[in-house]
Amino acid sequence: MKKKGSEKKRHVVAWLNKAEWDQVRDYLYSMDSSLQRFALERISAWRARCANSFPVAVDCTADLVRCQVRDRSGQLTGDDLTLMYGAALVRFVNLITERWSSAETSWP
């Protein structure tokens, strides 16, 4: 019988496996907008699966890549792009500082 201390802790994630994670990561950083859009769709599906425990880094990266895709499409004006990038950056800073300050308060 195994001791409880030797058991591995399981962590539930939204992606199917490491291969799916790697593919989405590679597609996000691709210069091909269609691959980036595919990756953004996968991330949206992941977010729907585990909304409360979705990684902040993935969420913020997706927001910034979404801005980049919309920027390259040429369908938005300069003001709209400025607002979109600004909102993504403010959200990034808010999420990071929120997680950091909540982790800081949990120290003994």
CB 59 within 8 A of CB 27: no
> If you count them, how many residues does the chain have?
108
* pLDDT tens per residue, range 45-71: 998 888 778 888 888 899 999 999 999
Verdict on whether the full-model pTM lies above 0.75: no
Could you tell me the two tokens for 19?
A: 């291969």
- 31 with 60: CB under 8 angstroms? no
Cβ atoms of 65 and 25 within 8 Å: the answer is no
pLDDT tens, position by position, 2-35: 556 556 777 777 787 899 999 999 999 999 999 9
Between 96 and 26, residue with greater pLDDT: 26
Domain boundaries, the chain: 15-105
The CA radius of gyration of the chain, in Å to the nearest whole number, is: 17
Assess whether pLDDT exceeds 60 at residue 79. Answer: yes
- Does the structure show a pLDDT above 90 at 77? no
Query: Which of 48, 46, 41 lies closest to 27, judged by CA?
Result: 41
For the chain, count helices (H), then strands (E). 4, 0
